[in-house]
């Protein structure tokens, strides 16, 4: 497999899907694209050569942080019969030597996932979680339009704030990924991005503690604005050098912009940044 994210977490880098599809095709590999941050509304990776698309439905698809689930979508266009994927072409002992590729053709991969992976892992979505995720899908376009609009305004606000040293959002013209975002995400590059708090690790932690409306949670893609400081939470056990090598800087804050009034979001970020710099 060649695996990528449409929008990287937490870097915010936008993948050149068509170029990666060419690489995957040249090496007879399926291109698997995680489109969680982009959502099915903002990007359709299969139109750019992806063979399989995955989503964490827990995020924007559900939209309210109420349910855990995932989605795998297979284009049905990849040739699993090349001999490089024996699980798809060799007999499956658990199903009377059935051969997935021979028996199911374009449905082989999804059938194998259901018949073997779900059986072995035991994952089972509860009916109520399925209901909640389907409810979220009904309003996905409307919510994403508002998420993106708020994210653009918040990113521009932070880009001009004296307490912020950098902003990594592909919706800004200053981003090195802006052109790719225009190509693959014409309706907006999502609502999750990172920025640096002037003053480094200590200032980043103080900023988090100073927020009053924005929630300090590791989730993303919620109706509420969520924030996390990796250097003092998910990556706190690493040295600064190791964090930087992993794409996380001590001053980095990841922000998932919600659906609150954008002036309220900016007000809370502003007062927390001012407090972090005092």
pLDDT at 48: 98
pLDDT tens digit string along 152-178?
A: 999 999 999 999 999 999 999 999 999
Find where tokens 């870097």 sit.
11
Q: Which of 3-7, 13-17, 165-169, 216-220 has the lowest mean pLDDT?
A: 216-220
Bridge partner residues of 73 (DSSP):
53
- How confident is residue 195, by pLDDT bands cut at 50, 70 and 90? very high
- Percentage of residues in the chain having pLDDT higher than 70: 100
CA atoms of 159 and 149, how far apart (whole Å): 16
Distance between CA atoms of residues 164 and 157, nearest Å: 10
Residue 233 scores a pLDDT above 90: no
**Average pLDDT of the chain, as a whole number:** 95
> What confidence category does residue 238 fall into, taking pLDDT thresholds of 50, 70 and 90?
confident
With residue 180 as reference, give the H or E element that holds it: helix 178-184
| Dihedral Cα 145, 146, 151, 152, nearest 10 deg | 70
Instruction: Enter the DSSP assignment of 113.
Output: I
For 255-277, write each residue's pLDDT tens digit.
999 999 999 999 999 999 999 98
Delineate the domains of the chain, giving CATH numbers in brackets. 2-137 (3.40.640.10), 140-276 (3.90.1150.10)
Here the tokens at position 18 are 């068509």
**What is the helix (H) or strand (E) element at residue 142, kind and residue range?**
helix 140-159
| pLDDT above 80 (res 278) | no
Res 246 pLDDT > 90: no
pLDDT at position 240 is 80
Q: Residue 239: pLDDT above 80? A: yes
Question: What confidence score (pLDDT) does residue 201 get?
Answer: 87
pTM of the model: 0.93
For residue 278, what is the DSSP state? -
Mean pLDDT, range 79-86, rounded to an integer = 92
Residue 188: half-sphere exposure toward Cβ, Cα within 13 Å:
20
Sequential DSSP letters for 41-76: HH--GGGGT-SEEEEETTTTTT-SS----EEEEE-S
Question: How large is the average pLDDT for residues 44-70?
Answer: 97
DSSP string, 193-229: EEEEETTHHHHHHHHHHH-SSSEE-S--S-SS-EEE-
Contact 262, 154 (CB under 8 A): yes
User: If you average pLDDT over residues 55-82, what whole number do you get?
Assistant: 96
């Amino acid at each position: 497999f060649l695996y990528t994210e449409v929008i990287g977490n937490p870097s915010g880098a936008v993948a050149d899907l068509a170029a990666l599809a060419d690489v995957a095709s040249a090496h007879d590999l399926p291109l698997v694209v995680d489109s969680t941050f982009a959502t099915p509304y903002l990007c359709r990776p299969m139109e750019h050569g992806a063979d399989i698309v995955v989503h964490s439905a827990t995020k924007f698809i559900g939209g309210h942080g109420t349910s855990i689930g995932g989605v795998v979508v297979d284009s049905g266009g990849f040739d699993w019969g090349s001999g490089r994927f024996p699980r798809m072409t060799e007999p499956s002992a658990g199903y009377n030597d059935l051969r997935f590729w021979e028996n199911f053709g374009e449905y082989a991969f999804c059938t194998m996932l259901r018949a073997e992976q779900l059986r072995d892992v035991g994952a089972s979505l509860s009916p109520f979680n399925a209901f909640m995720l389907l409810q979220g899908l009904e309003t996905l376009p409307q919510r994403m339009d508002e998420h993106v609009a708020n994210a653009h305004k918040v990113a521009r606000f932070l880009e001009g704030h004296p307490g912020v040293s950098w902003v990594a959002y592909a919706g800004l013209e200053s981003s090195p990924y802006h052109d790719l975002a225009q190509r693959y995400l014409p309706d907006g590059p999502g609502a999750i991005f990172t920025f640096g708090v002037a003053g480094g690790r200590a200032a980043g932690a103080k900023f988090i503690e100073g927020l009053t409306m924005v929630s300090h949670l590791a989730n993303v893609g919620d109706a509420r604005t969520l924030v996390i400081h990796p250097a003092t939470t998910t990556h706190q056990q690493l040295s600064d050098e190791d964090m930087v090598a992993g794409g996380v800087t001590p001053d980095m804050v990841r922000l998932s912009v919600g659906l609150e009034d954008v002036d309220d979001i900016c007000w809370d970020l502003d007062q927390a940044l001012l407090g972090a710099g005092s």
